[in-house]
Structure formats: structure tokens, C-alpha cells
Amino acid sequence: MTSDAVRAALAHVVDPEIRRPITELDMVRAVTVDGSRATVDLRLTIIGCPAAETIERDIRAAVLTVPGIDELDLVVGVMTVPEREALVARLRGTRTTQFGPDTLTKIYAVTSGKGGVGKSTLTANLAVALAATGLKVGLIDADVFGFSIPGILGIVGEKPTKVGDLMMPPVAHGVSVISIGMFVDGSTAVSWRGPLLHRTIQQFLTDVWFGDLDVLLLDLPPGTGDVAISIGQLLPHAEVLVVTTPQPAAADVAERSGLVARQTGQTVIGVIENMTGELFGSGGGDAVAARLDVPVLARIPLSVGLREGGDTGTPVVFADPSDPAAVAILSLAATLAARTRDLAGRKLPISPR
Ligand code: ADP
């Protein structure tokens, strides 16, 4: 009876990387109770699992809330190879169509005409803001020229954990993040050729285990190069957000990015104007939106907090939600979250024959 209660408590402990209860992941080998002392036999997925400390702490906290239990003996081991293979097969089974055409995950590719317009900063903050609304959010940093996402989210140097041939992405502020920067030293990816980039992105979409995401964001490189085309081919059902600054020159190149996305079958859903204010001229967002026939979904003001948050790895939407840029990004997140929930709640159209 009490060991059932301990198991029930353990069902609330979630593996921070796989984001499933440890009981569902076959990580709890055995639970025994002797008087007021519980013994839990835990099997980690891999040796040196970076999440081990968190899991052990959470187990301790959960088990000691069970009435009648005031001592915990936690035996920590590692899965055998066949156990791990069985787990990987099971996880794969739930995600073979992870981001296929009939996925329920909303996929937003964020593009811009040129670099330096704030695309990565906004994408990272938008991801954190969406996660804060309770959605499960993944972020793929495919910006070969920058891969600045790990820096903006404060996870520089973190790498995915390998479980069999699956990769568990690091989680930052509730967002599962994978970046080309996690696979290269320095900035060598800039010189990667199209086929290697294509394979890498394909691998991100198949071998990185994101779990059941509500939203996947992709930070694309600026412009209309190989990565944009690969994403267009691999995810033709993705929706595209175009980031521009207010200057007319920026607007021209931003429009081109939107048009290329459209050629691959993707739908441009709106424009985000960044660094809105007197300083940089005006009208860029409206101009791109008018030419692409989509709305301006947000105007993000210049903000020291947004920039500093990116430099220090603490996104402003998290550190200072009252900052005007954070307010604008949170409001954009609410708009997107509403569309996302609509879709998730909708029955698939099935027409009787
Ligand atoms: P991109 O991804 O388009 O190349 P980044 O996101 O790297 O651009 O942003 C370029 C620089 O501009 C960064 O230093 C970032 O902190 C800063 N930045 C972006 N948006 C704003 C803003 N609204 N206010 C102030 N600084 C910003």
C-alpha cells in the first residue's frame, strides 16, 4: 500500500531533459517500503547524466511527502544497453511523425532580410514567453552565421545528452534548445556547404527528441540561402514570421525573405518590426506587411533591457516582464499562443464517405 503511494509520488518527478515522468521512462526499477523507510532503485538513462542531481533531489522531495515515510534510501544505477535501447525505441515510436505534415505542433520559422535586426534576440525571447504561457516549446537555432541563441538563453557550452541515437536537448527557461553552435568549435559552421547543412537540419528534426511540442520555433539565418531552402523543403507546412527594422532598405530585403519562404509553400503569417522608434526611420514594418499582404503582428521598441538580457543570458521577458520590449514580446506570444491552442483543440477534419 505505502509502496504504491511512493510510486504515485514518483510519478510527479519529471526527467528535465526528456520531460516525461521517470516512472513512464522505466527509470524506477523497484520501490520497497520497510516501516517508515522507503528504498527506491533508480536507473539513469546514461552514465554521468547531467540531470541526475535534479532528478535525485526531486525524488527525495516527492517521496518524503508521502505520509508515513520519513527516510529514503536512493539506489542510483544506470540502464543496461538493452534497457536503454528499449526506451529509445519507445520514445521514437511516439515521435516518428514529430514534425511531419500532420503534426499538431505549430511550427514558426523566423526569418529576416539581413543580420543584426534582432531576429535571434526576438526568437529566443518569444520562445521563453510562449513557454511561460504553459506551452511546450522547442527552439532550433539554424542561424549558421550567428548561432547566438545559446548565449541569449544562458546555456553556452551545454550540449545535448545522447540516449542511444537520440539527442536530448538542453532546456533553458522552459524551452528545449538545439543549436548548430552545440556541434562546432568556434564559428566553423559558416563554411558548411548546403548538403551538410541540410543533413544537420534534417537530423535536428528527427534525432533530437523534443517530445510532444505545442510550438517549435526556428531561428533561420538572414536572407535566402541554403538553410532557408532546406527548411522550406523539410517543413513546407511551417509558418513564417519576418523580422525587419523600420528602415526602408531593411524592408526591401525582408520582403525578399518572405517571398522565398512562400515559394517553398510556407505561409508568411506576419511581420515583426523591431527597434521601433524615431531613431531608425519608420514605416519598414508596414511596408513589408503591405507588400506581403500580412499584418504587422508586433512592434518591439528599442530596449536596453532586451539587449543586456541577450548579453547576459537572462531573457528580458523573464528578468523584467515590465520592460516595454518584454511587454510587446509577451503580447506577441499571447497572440501566437491563442492560435496555437485553437489548432491543438480542433478535431481533424474527417469527411464521411
Ligand atoms: P540578428 O539575429 O538579426 O542578427 P541579434 O538578435 O543578434 O540580431 O541582435 C543584434 C543586436 O541588437 C544584439 O546586440 C541585440 O541585443 C540587439 N537588439 C536586438 N533587438 C533590440 C532592441 N529592440 N533594442 C535594443 N537592442 C536590440
Nearest to 198 by CA among 166, 169, 225, 159: 225
Ligand 1, residue 276: give the atom nearest the CA: 23
Give the Å distance between the CA of 267 and the centre of ligand 1.
25
Give the Å distance between the CA of 128 and the centre of ligand 1.
16
Ligand 1, residue 145: give the atom nearest the CA: 4
Domain positions in the chain: 2-92, 106-337
The backbone torsions φ and ψ at residue 107, rounded to the nearest 5 degrees and listed phi first, read: -115, 120
Give pLDDT tens digits for 283-333.
899 999 999 999 999 999 999 999 999 999 999 999 999 999 999 999 999
Residue with cell 464517405: 353
Give the Å distance between the CA of 310 and the centre of ligand 1.
8
As given in the structure block, the three cell numbers for residue 145 are: 552565421
Instruction: Quote the pLDDT of residue 351.
Output: 41
The closest residue, in CA terms, to atom 26 on ligand 1 is 307
| CA-angle at 92, arms to 44 and 176, nearest 5° | 70
pLDDT band of residue 342 (cuts 50, 70, 90) is low
Judge contact between 79 and 87, C-beta under 8 A.
yes
pLDDT band of residue 190 (cuts 50, 70, 90) is low
Give the whole-angstrom CA distance, residue 185 versus residue 302.
Answer: 32
Residue 31 bridge partners (DSSP) = 40
Of 110, 119, 121, the residue with max ligand 1 atoms within 8 A of its CB, to mutate for a pocket test, comes to 121
pLDDT band of residue 249 (cuts 50, 70, 90) is confident
C-alpha to C-alpha distances, 291 to 71, 207, 336, nearest whole angstrom: 66, 38, 22
Instruction: Quote the pLDDT of residue 345.
Output: 45
The closest residue, in CA terms, to atom 15 on ligand 1 is 307
Note the CATH architecture for domain 2-92. 2-Layer Sandwich (3.30)
| 310 class by beta-carbon count within 10 Å (0-12 exposed, 13-18 middle, 19+ buried) | buried
As for ligand 1, residues whose beta carbon falls within 6 Å of it are 112, 115-121, 146, 148, 274-275, 300, 302-303, 306-307, 310, 325
Give the whole-angstrom CA distance, residue 243 versus residue 273.
Answer: 6
How many CB atoms lie under 10 A from the CB of residue 136?
A: 18
Give the Å distance between the CA of 160 and the centre of ligand 1.
26
The closest residue, in CA terms, to atom 8 on ligand 1 is 118
203 pLDDT more than 50 = yes
Query: Residues near 128 by Cβ (< 8 Å), separated by ≥ 6?
Result: 153, 172, 173, 174, 175, 315, 317, 318
Nearest to 270 by CA among 301, 243, 252: 243
Give the whole-angstrom CA distance, residue 311 versus residue 229.
Answer: 30
Kind and range of the H or E run holding 252: helix 248-263
Give pLDDT tens digits for 134-160.
999 999 999 887 789 999 999 999 999
The closest residue, in CA terms, to atom 27 on ligand 1 is 307
The closest residue, in CA terms, to atom 17 on ligand 1 is 307
Judge contact between 137 and 214, C-beta under 8 A.
yes
Residue with cell 541563441: 149
Q: C-alpha 186: how far from its chain's center?
A: 23
Angle between helices 284-292 and 248-263 (to 10 degrees): 30
The closest residue, in CA terms, to atom 24 on ligand 1 is 302
Report the predicted TM-score, pTM, of the whole model to 2 decimal places.
Answer: 0.81
Give the Å distance between the CA of 119 and the centre of ligand 1.
7
Give the whole-angstrom CA distance, residue 322 versus residue 309.
Answer: 13
DSSP designation for 214: S
The closest residue, in CA terms, to atom 22 on ligand 1 is 302
Give the Å distance between the CA of 308 and the centre of ligand 1.
10
As given in the structure block, the three cell numbers for residue 159 are: 550540449
pLDDT mean over 243-248: 91
Give the Å distance between the CA of 325 and the centre of ligand 1.
12
C-alpha to C-alpha distances, 269 to 191, 213, 335, nearest whole angstrom: 31, 20, 12
CATH classification (class only), 106-337: alpha beta
Residue with cell 511531419: 100
Backbone CA torsion sign across 227, 228, 229, 233: positive
Give the Å distance between the CA of 276 and the centre of ligand 1.
12
